[in-house]
Structure 1
Amino acid sequence: MKKALLIFFVLFCITSSQSQVLISLIFGDKLNSPFLEFGLEGGANFSSISNLETSKTKIDFNLGFYFDFKSKKNPSWMLNTGVIVKSPMGAKNVSLYSLNNADLDNTFKGGNVDREIRYFNIPILIKYKFKNNIYIKSGPQLGLLAKAFDKFSKEINGEDIAYKNNVRDKIHVIDAGIVIGAGYHINSGKGLNITLQYYYGLVPLMKGDLSPNQYNRSLYLTAGIPIGKGKADKKRAEKETFENGVILPEEEE
């Protein structure tokens, strides 16, 4: 299952052209230590926009990488951070509005509008793992706007037609809010991290007085996998063996 998930991550990275994630796959073992865990994580997020009339929850996929910086005094406490490289938010069934173009307005009359807002999100969370490998975490999350558009769609004569209206200039470039979550680390910390966390946006979504009471909301269900952790552990064991002058069985004459 771990190999299948890793293959999925690699394919996802290639199709998304996220070179920084591919680099992290190659050098993952160099980013792991007894007090640092590095890995990839991805899954589904269920997003909505508060106080946006007629809108519904939008389902998308997210992908990113994470770091767990463990406290040397008490490894149960960690700083959990990283970057969610692919993290679309938004809402479905936004109220239809005029595109200031008679032909487009007539074409999409009675159609649907979905709002998609893409961010690079950076969580900065305090994480605590219990002895049974269940963990909880909470803290702020910052988002940098990449793209934002409204997708108009309609079926005409059995064919689906669509039009993307760029709304990036109407949305704040920086988003920020609070994250709270919980999860389980399989196989004593060496396997998958299964996490459920909720993001509560605190920065108004729209600029000016367009919609001052609209905020991002998103529920994340993710699976994270340490990258290169086993290889890093093996290297450390070999180094300690060499430094202690222990001769391995296969080296004895």
Structure 2
Amino acid sequence: MKKVFLIGFTLFTISSSSHAQAALFALLFGDKVATENFNVSLEAGGTFMGYSNLEDSERSKMGINFGIGGNIKLNENWFICPNIYFLAKRNLFLNHFSLDSGNPALDANFTDIPTKITLDYIDVPIFFSYQTNNKKYRFSLAPQFSFLQKSRGIFERSEGDFTQNFDGYTRDVDYGMMVDFAYVLGKAHKGKGLIIHLRYYHGFTDVLNDQISTADNRSNYLSLHLSLPFITDELAAKNLEQESE
């Protein structure tokens, strides 16, 4: 029943069929490809965005990301965890911005008004993780590369909104570093575990072109994130035995 619910959630959340297929592979076959030193996981989280040197803006609402992860065990304490988030939505709000569509009559109706900018990325972080001997905590550091898939500007008026393609207003690639503190719930998911992450990302690139801001606008965010690992039944049983000791 839990797996049926997760499959339904995946199909509801992810619109692209290729992205859904990757997530469904993790759900249906993740435990079958798992070994003692490798497993995959479902990844989902919420992000609270910020941008440097962007004074005429408000703190953005929560974005979301969803994808799959790999967990490669090097020894009892060290892991490499490459992740890919096919769905990585971020946003920002400008208090005053003007439409520039090339149509003067249309632009006159959307001048100096609140504007929401939505950014859809594919995020690829690669975590280098240390897990404590009691297997309760993980500390990780990751370089992350984000590839822009789509950006839109939504000009908001009481009479109605207007949406414009903003691909030329935002840069195609963002990269930076992420730090991660995680708490491992070893007994959850029938011994296969659940990992709760608190993350901070700091970008190194100017993500907005000069049409939006001539300053250096680097992205940063806090994230609350969940990892649902798929491991072998034997390892899950071992985890339950260790938790009961």
Alignment match, 2:78: 77
Whether 1:68 aligns to 2:71 is yes
Alignment match, 2:240: none
Alignment match, 1:219: 222
3-state SS in 1 of match to 2:233: helix
Alignment match, 1:40: 42
Summarize the Cα distance change of 1:5–1:51 in structure 2 as closer, same or farther, 3 Å threshold: farther
**Separation (CA, whole Å) in 1 of partners of 2:66 and 2:105:** 38
Summarize the Cα distance change of 1:50–1:8 in structure 2 as closer, same or farther, 3 Å threshold: farther
**Separation (CA, whole Å) in 1 of partners of 2:66 and 2:14:** 12
Taking only the aligned residue pairs, the percentage that are identical comes to 27
| Contact 1:89/1:218 (8 A) holds in 2 | no
The Cα RMSD (Å) is: 2.8
Alignment match, 2:205: 203
**Separation (CA, whole Å) in 2 of partners of 1:31 and 1:50:** 42
CA displacement at 1:13 relative to structure 2: 4.3
Alignment match, 2:10: 10
Alignment match, 2:115: 113
What amino acid is the match of 2:196? I
Alignment match, 1:184: 183
| Contact 2:64/2:90 (8 A) holds in 1 | no
| Contact 1:48/1:90 (8 A) holds in 2 | no
Summarize the Cα distance change of 1:235–1:190 in structure 2 as closer, same or farther, 3 Å threshold: closer
| Contact 1:13/1:21 (8 A) holds in 2 | no
CA displacement at 1:147 relative to structure 2: 0.6
CA displacement at 1:39 relative to structure 2: 0.8
Summarize the Cα distance change of 1:133–1:235 in structure 2 as closer, same or farther, 3 Å threshold: closer
Alignment match, 1:97: 98
Please give the per-residue CA displacement for 1:12-66, whole angstroms capped at 9, x wherever unaligned: 4455543322233222123321111211111211112211122122212211111
Summarize the Cα distance change of 1:4–1:50 in structure 2 as closer, same or farther, 3 Å threshold: farther
CA displacement at 1:122 relative to structure 2: 0.4
**Separation (CA, whole Å) in 2 of partners of 1:236 and 1:3:** 17
Summarize the Cα distance change of 1:138–1:20 in structure 2 as closer, same or farther, 3 Å threshold: same
What 5-or-longer segments of structure 1 have no aligned partner? Answer: 238-253
What amino acid is the match of 2:208? M
What 5-or-longer segments of structure 2 have no aligned partner? Answer: 238-245
What amino acid is the match of 2:122? F
Alignment match, 1:170: 169
Alignment match, 2:243: none
Please give the per-residue CA displacement for 1:48-96, whole angstroms capped at 9, x wherever unaligned: 221112212221221111111111xx22111121101111123123531
| Contact 2:146/2:173 (8 A) holds in 1 | yes
| Contact 2:63/2:91 (8 A) holds in 1 | no
Normalised by the length of structure 1, the TM-score is 0.79
**Separation (CA, whole Å) in 1 of partners of 2:155 and 2:171:** 22
What amino acid is the match of 2:70? F
| Contact 1:46/1:60 (8 A) holds in 2 | yes
| Contact 2:66/2:86 (8 A) holds in 1 | yes
**Separation (CA, whole Å) in 2 of partners of 1:90 and 1:211:** 18
Normalised by the length of structure 2, the TM-score is 0.81
3-state SS in 2 of match to 1:92: strand
